[in-house]
């Protein structure tokens, strides 16, 4: 929720629904697009970028979707779409196509984590050595 009730949700810089004019949907948030390797590094970079923009709550599950018919519900939809577009733009084309039809940034995030967020035993052994 916005702290300043005089401002619209997407105009209050303290609100998770704030959208700065520089927030382009085709922004390269991290140095390289995720192509299937180096998921932990890509994920950490995305977390930092999303946190800096006050949008981490759209992927980490701490912000639930409000009722659609409210102003907050409409603001949530708009910000969720923005975060989805950032995620898609920062993924390799093949991976982006595989998550294109998920409805929320959280669903995309969970799918990527499920597919790429594991550590294999040989990788773990190699890291420990």
Range of the domain at 122: 39-128
> Looking at the domain assignment, is residue 12 inside a domain?
no
pLDDT of 13 above 80: yes
- State the pLDDT confidence band at 11, using cuts at 50, 70 and 90: confident
> Looking at the domain assignment, is residue 120 inside a domain?
yes
> Looking at the domain assignment, is residue 106 inside a domain?
yes
pLDDT of 124 above 70: no
Closest among 48, 44, 63, 51 to 117, alpha carbons compared:
44
Contact assessment for residue 90 and residue 30, using Cβ atoms and an 8 Å cutoff: yes
Contact assessment for residue 44 and residue 59, using Cβ atoms and an 8 Å cutoff: no
- pLDDT of 62-115, one tens digit each? 999 998 888 899 999 999 999 999 999 999 999 999 999 999 999 999 999 999
> Looking at the domain assignment, is residue 44 inside a domain?
yes
| Number of folded domains that form the chain | 1
Both tokens of 88, joined, read: 């898609």
- State the pLDDT confidence band at 10, using cuts at 50, 70 and 90: confident
> Looking at the domain assignment, is residue 55 inside a domain?
yes
């Amino acid at each position: 929720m916005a702290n300043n009730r005089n401002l619209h949700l997407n105009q209050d810089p303290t609100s998770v629904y704030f959208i700065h004019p520089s927030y382009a949907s085709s922004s390269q948030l991290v140095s390289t697009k995720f192509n299937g390797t180096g998921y932990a590094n890509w994920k950490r970079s995305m977390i930092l970028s999303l946190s800096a923009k006050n949008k981490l709550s759209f992927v980490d599950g701490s912000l639930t979707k409000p009722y659609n018919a409210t102003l907050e519900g409409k603001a949530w939809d708009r910000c969720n779409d923005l975060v989805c577009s950032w995620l898609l733009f920062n993924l390799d084309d093949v991976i982006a196509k595989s998550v294109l039809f998920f409805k929320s940034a959280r669903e995309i995030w969970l799918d990527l984590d499920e597919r790429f967020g594991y550590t294999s035993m040989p990788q773990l052994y190699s890291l420990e050595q």
